[in-house]
Amino acid sequence: MGNWQIGTATQIGLLLIVIGLICLLRPYQMAKWHENDPTVLHREHKRIQSRKKKSQRAAFDSAVLETEREPSRPAIILVRVLGILAAAGGAGLFIWSIL
């Protein structure tokens, strides 16, 4: 195997370890999906485009916060499991590339 392949495997391994650790340490934030929800994105776009007074925008912001969806327990568990798999796979790839 060439040096560039070993270097690439090492970098991919480290990247997977970092992604896995992020998923393990912050599963709640990784499981949130409301940020990609089209209605919330559309509302946020309208808010930015509006020229309303600050008080009206504050009311609008609170309405948007109320529509945020909490991640379900299975989603958080799935993120944790994927984080474990990514960290383990990354560690294995990293160790294999060193040996």
Of the listed ranges 2-11, 20-29, 49-58, 84-93, the one predicted with least confidence: 49-58
**Which tens digits make up the pLDDT trace of 46-88?**
666 666 666 666 666 666 565 556 677 888 888 889 889 999 9
Phi and psi of 86, rounded to 5°?
-65, -45
Percentage of the residues of the chain whose pLDDT score is greater than 90: 9
What pTM value is reported for the model?
0.58
The answer to whether residues 97 and 17 touch, using CB atoms and an 8 Å cutoff, is no
What is the rounded distance in angstroms from the CA atom of residue 29 to the CA atom of residue 22?
A: 10
Residue 27 CB burial class (10 angstroms; 0-12, 13-18, ≥19) = buried
Residue 46, token pair as written in the block: 């309208």
